[in-house]
Structure 1
């Protein structure tokens, strides 16, 4: 395994409300980083991070999953977390050990209860946050409305990149 200097390592948690696409986003990152050769399927039970029988049966994440990839000579350690509030402890404990919270928001549903909760926990840990609006290729998406919601809920420091 390659040794990395601390300046070449990034640690982040992928958090958000349930069913926002956190696991598939994680799979996409692993695929683009060359760690896996195909993106798994929630329905098919073939995702890397959903490894437990209960996760396959329920088609949701129950446990946090540490994953890693290398991109442009930088090692990225990411944690795919469950979104359903029954398992919020997994997200909270993951946020305690990372440097950034990647908050995933569903492009149709917008800011939800779980979004607010993980945002507040990330604030408690003093973490910077990045919002990813996922699923913009679907019908009835509302990016501008989500941007306005985010500014209303989280303060005026939210801006598109």
Structure 2
């Protein structure tokens, strides 16, 4: 296993409302960094981060998953978090160990409840907003 200097390790949480595409974004990151040979799909039940039988059955993230990948000599520990309020404690746990967060929003739905809650609950955590699903009908940036 490769050893990384501490300055080359990033811990990032993907957060946002359910259904915004956080798990699909993780799959794209893994594929584009060469960590996987294919992009898994939530609907097919073959994603790296949603592996529990209940997650596959419901097609939602229930527990946070740590998914490491390497990019430009940096190890990026991506934490795919649940988007539904029933599992918010998983988001809170993940936020204790991350350096920053990517708030994933759907271009078709806009700002939703879980997005606002995460933004307000962690005001000091550096954030970037990722607008997903721009190719969908009724997308409104």
Pick the structure with greater CA Rg: 1
C-alpha displacement of 1:121: 2.3
Q: Which has the higher helix share?
A: 1
The CA distance in 2 between the partners of 1:115 and 1:21, in whole Å, is 13
Runs of 4+ more than 3 Å apart: none
C-alpha displacement of 1:6: 1.2
The CA distance in 2 between the partners of 1:22 and 1:63, in whole Å, is 13
- Aligned residue number for residue 142 of structure 1: 140
Asked if the contact 1:122–1:129 (Cα under 8 Å) also holds between the matched residues in 2, the reply is no
Uncovered stretches (5+) of structure 2, i.e. residues with no partner:
none
Do residues 78 (structure 1) and 78 (structure 2) align? yes
Do residues 5 (structure 1) and 5 (structure 2) align? yes
When the two structures are superposed, what TM-score results if normalisation uses the length of structure 2?
0.97
Q: Which structure's relative contact order is higher, taking Cα pairs within 8 Å and 6+ residues apart?
A: 2
Deviations 1:90-149 (A, max 9, x none): 0111011100011000011000001001112221xx211100000111111111xxxxxx
Asked if the contact 1:9–1:74 (Cα under 8 Å) also holds between the matched residues in 2, the reply is yes
C-alpha displacement of 1:26: 0.5
Aligned residue runs from structure 1 range 1-161, under 5 A: 1-123=1-123, 126-143=124-141
SS at 1:29 equivalent? helix
The CA distance in 1 between the partners of 2:108 and 2:43, in whole Å, is 21
What is the alpha-carbon root mean square deviation over aligned residues? 0.7
C-alpha displacement of 1:44: 1.2
The CA distance in 1 between the partners of 2:84 and 2:104, in whole Å, is 13
C-alpha displacement of 1:63: 0.5
The CA distance in 2 between the partners of 1:52 and 1:35, in whole Å, is 20
SS at 1:101 equivalent? strand
Equivalent residues, number: 141
Uncovered stretches (5+) of structure 1, i.e. residues with no partner:
144-161
